[in-house]
Copies of this chain bind each other. A is one copy, B any other.
Amino acid sequence: MTRKGGNPAPDQPVSIASVARRAGVSIATVSRVINGIANKASADTVAKVREAVAALDYRPSSAGQSLRQRKSRLVAVLAANMANPTMAAIAASVEVALREKDLVMVLCDTHDKPELQDEYLKEMRAQQARAIVLLGAVASPLLAALRGSTTPLIFVNRLDPGGGASPFVGIDNDAAGADMARHALSRGLVRPAIIHAPLTSSATRARVEAMARVYAEAGHPVPPERRLGPPLRDHLAIGHHAVRLLVEQGLSCDAYLCTGDLIAFGARKALVEARGDAGSAPFFGFDDNPLNDWVAPWLSSMRIPYAAYGEAIVDLILSENGEAPRQRILPHALVIRPAAGEG
């Protein structure tokens, strides 16, 4: 209704040439006007071009642009595991931030497998992706190779497994782990179980080490049998398995420190299954998914500002002018939920 004629242009045969024709100018001029090149078009030329663009509902073909400029508007996000709500939250945040800058998100699930990650990296090189965001990177051959290229590589949550000081967005996992342990100690919880994901993730490693360190320094070292990290991929299974082990061995704990909320979910379920109730030892997790308030009022969790990740990541992508690769460390905060009355 807002446009004059019925000019929907069925399938988009509308190229820059047609715009140029309608505006009575050259292709070059249209391109310049669209891209806002100053001093290259008079006021009425600009007006004519704009009119034609609007009338034809023209939008430059991405293929043409990519080909010419040797780079696309695509930004790849390689997530280690989309089943984890955390990844979804970050992806959502990134998407919004990218949209603002007229970039487009391509989302891939690497399932934490190096081969698959490489496959995607290859694909994204073929797509001439503007940047690649790694939500939980794993070491892989192509990743190493790509580190030398001009394509910005942004590491999120987990540091670059290659070791270099690559651009990074995340929290201070050491501080966060320490904070959690100190809080537990302050509540007199001196016999915790530490249940964690595989230590291949730098984030997990830092959290676990910080907790153990703080406990050791406080004179309550956590012995190996209370440090559990089953080599499973599924966080729920990790927690479940760990607590079952704990129960079988008759080890009692006064707190469950988990490196992820999902692990805590699994842990608690195993406990309920084993004893009929969840006991009185509080559960601690990381991530603090928004749903926790609704379905896990028993879970204290380290809140990580995932909603702010998108902006930080896109910032890092665009400020590629920067020399020293910067790290964006965002604030964390422990959200305490009363382990109290659930009945």
Chain B residues lying within 8 Å of A44, measured Cβ to Cβ, are none
Chain B residues lying within 8 Å of A99, measured Cβ to Cβ, are 108
Q: Mark contacts of A62-92 with chain B using CB atoms, 8 A cut-off: 1 yes-contact digit, 0 otherwise.
A: 1110110000101000000011010011011
Chain B residues lying within 8 Å of A201, measured Cβ to Cβ, are none
A5-13, A173-181, A322-330 - interface stretch: A5-13
Chain B residue with the shortest CB-CB distance to A122? B59
User: Measured between C-beta atoms, what is the minimum distance from A233 to chain B in Å?
Assistant: 14
Chain B residue with the shortest CB-CB distance to A144? B8
Count of chain A residues near B, Cβ 8 A: 55
Chain B residue with the shortest CB-CB distance to A265? B294
Q: Judge whether A92 and B96 touch: CB under 8 Å.
A: no
Q: Judge whether B109 and A95 touch: CB under 8 Å.
A: yes
Chain B residues lying within 8 Å of A74, measured Cβ to Cβ, are 106
A61 lies within 8 A of chain B by Cβ: yes
Q: Judge whether B88 and A85 touch: CB under 8 Å.
A: yes
User: Measured between C-beta atoms, what is the minimum distance from A111 to chain B in Å?
Assistant: 9
Tell me, in angstroms, the Cα distance from A269 to B296 when the chains sit together.
Answer: 11
A125-133, A164-172, A203-211, A215-223 - interface stretch: A125-133
**23 A–B contacts, CB within 8 A, in A order:** A11-B150, A11-B151, A12-B149, A59-B122, A59-B126, A60-B126, A62-B128, A63-B66, A63-B72, A66-B66, A67-B67, A83-B89, A83-B92, A85-B88, A85-B291, A96-B109, A104-B108, A107-B107, A262-B294, A265-B295, A277-B343, A342-B342, A343-B343
